[in-house]
Amino acid sequence: MGLNKNIEIKLNEQFKKWSGSEALLITMLPNSGSNRIYFRLQNSNTSAIGVYNDNFKENTAFLNFTKQFLNSRINVPFIYSENLSENIYLIQDLGDTQMLQWLSSQRTKNEFPTEAISIYKKVIQELIRIQIIAGRNFDYSSCYPYTVFNEESIKFDLNYFKSNYIERLNLSYDSQKLGSDFNQFTSYLLKADNAFFMFRDFQARNIMLVNNQPYFIDYQGGRKGPLQYDLASLLFQAMAEIPENIKDLLLEYYIGLAQKFVPLNKSEFIEHYYAFALIRVMQTLGAYGLRGLIEKKNHFIKSIPLALQNLIYLLDKVEKLNSLPELKKIIIQITSIETKTNEE
């Protein structure tokens, strides 16, 4: 018996215990790029999403985070049943309307839909509730792999970008000087207040729309961190292709709301925001480099030019780059390659 069939049987047993009868229809859902395996289980009365993940600590983080979010009335899936000894659990079926797919379906002639701005504002409202309200008394003891967005996790992202993207290109740079710039950049990022819940992968791919309301999934990598990172992850998601003027509008909207809950120095917040956007885009390029340039997965290769457009935009926005000459030199080389490609 194959692994997936065995998982399907175990999930159906769990579904029967929860709902009272076996599933009449079981559908395996597309892989999200993680090691988690998802099934939709349905009978005549109800449905649920069955999840299998052999990483016990990740399962514990997801379930504990979910319970805390639900206590704070955050829109996340209900937990129906769990059996961690078998690495499985059942959660609420939020349907099939993923925000990124919805955004793509609403676009006409590459224009950013007005309705999408409204949805993004709803997402930002909920993001602030996650970060500040739910994060106020959050129990971070089950975080995995990191409890806080610290020096180690920042340097991991920077070196991930270096090994999976920079080193795949024919660039001229001094590795020692780049390492020094990475250290300086890390120290700068660590100056931002990091007393909030950080989703880590806050993007439209991890948001479901239910009756036009955003619901959140895939937050098991969450940790304590700065406000700016998740906002940057949302607005600089390459595949979302949010125009610059809309990014600016949504940034101002976020700041206006966040200031009602925590004191913010607006200029310092924005300066750090663009710096966190830069490390997020660099981390994304590292992922695209690994999955696309190394593993030759076409979807990720197609995403690289969109991420590079974000890098071009950030080149003039991140003031800190002026004191990081080797990193700035590399980014200029990378973005010039993209510019030449577009001109051809």
In this predicted structure, the answer to whether residue 1 has a pLDDT above a threshold of 90 is no
The set of residues, in sequence order, having a beta carbon less than 8 Å from that of 24 and lying 6+ positions away, is: 42, 43, 44
Look at residue 344 in the predicted model and tell me its pLDDT: 47
List strand residue ranges (DSSP E) for the chain, in order: 25-28, 37-42, 47-52, 79-83, 88-91, 196-198, 207-210, 213-216, 223-225
Secondary structure (3-state) at 213 = strand
| Mean pLDDT, residues 302-307 | 93
pLDDT at 18 over 90: yes
Tokens, residue 36:
């988690």
Q: Per-residue pLDDT averaged across 53-77, rounded? A: 98
What secondary structure letter does DSSP report for 18? H
Average pLDDT over residues 317-330: 98
Indicate the CATH number for domain 3-91.
3.30.200
Return the pLDDT at 206. 97
Share of the chain above pLDDT 70, in %: 97
Residue-wise pLDDT tens digits, 2-13: 779 999 999 999
Q: Which two tokens stand for residue 50?
A: 């069955």
Residues 6 or more apart in contact with residue 63 via CB below 8 angstroms:
79, 82, 84, 89
14-18, 141-145, 254-258, 294-298: range with lowest mean pLDDT: 294-298
pLDDT value at position 35?
Answer: 85
Confidence of residue 320 (pLDDT cuts 50, 70, 90): very high
Q: In what order do the strands lie in the sheet with 37-42?
A: 25-28, 37-42, 47-52, 88-91, 79-83
Q: What is the mean pLDDT of residues 227-246?
A: 97
Local confidence band at 338 (pLDDT 50, 70, 90 cut-offs): low
Regarding the domain delimited by 99-343, which CATH topology (the fold level of the hierarchy) does it fall under? Aminoglycoside 3'-phosphotransferase; Chain: A, domain 2 (3.90.1200)
Q: Do residues 61 and 142 lie in contact, with contact meaning Cβ atoms separated by under 8 Å?
A: yes
Whether the pTM exceeds 0.75: the reply is yes
Across 170-193, average pLDDT: 97
Burial of 152 (0-12, 13-18, 19+ CB in 10 A): exposed
- Cα distances (angstroms) measured from residue 203 to each of 10, 33, 158, 239: 31, 14, 20, 10
pLDDT computed for residue 342 by the predictor: 52
The predicted structure's pLDDT at residue 33: 65
Crossing angle of helices 114-128 and 227-235, rounded to 10°: 160
The residue among 233, 184, 205 whose CA lies nearest residue 97 is 205
DSSP assignment string, 185-204: HHHHHTTS---EEE-SS-SG
- Residue 233, pLDDT > 80, answer yes
Query: Would you list the domain boundaries of the chain?
Result: 3-91, 99-343
**What tokens were used for 315?**
């080149």
Distance CA 229, CA 278 (A): 10
Q: What does the pLDDT read at residue 213? A: 98
Find where tokens 């607005």 sit: 235
Per-chain mean pLDDT for the chain: 95
Residue 181 pLDDT greater than 80, yes or no: yes
Q: Could you give the CA distance from residue 194 to residue 143 in angstroms, rounded to a whole number?
A: 15
Distance of alpha carbon 96 from its chain centroid, rounded?
A: 18
- Render pLDDT for 88-112 as a digit per residue (tens, 0 to 9): 999 999 999 999 999 999 988 778 9
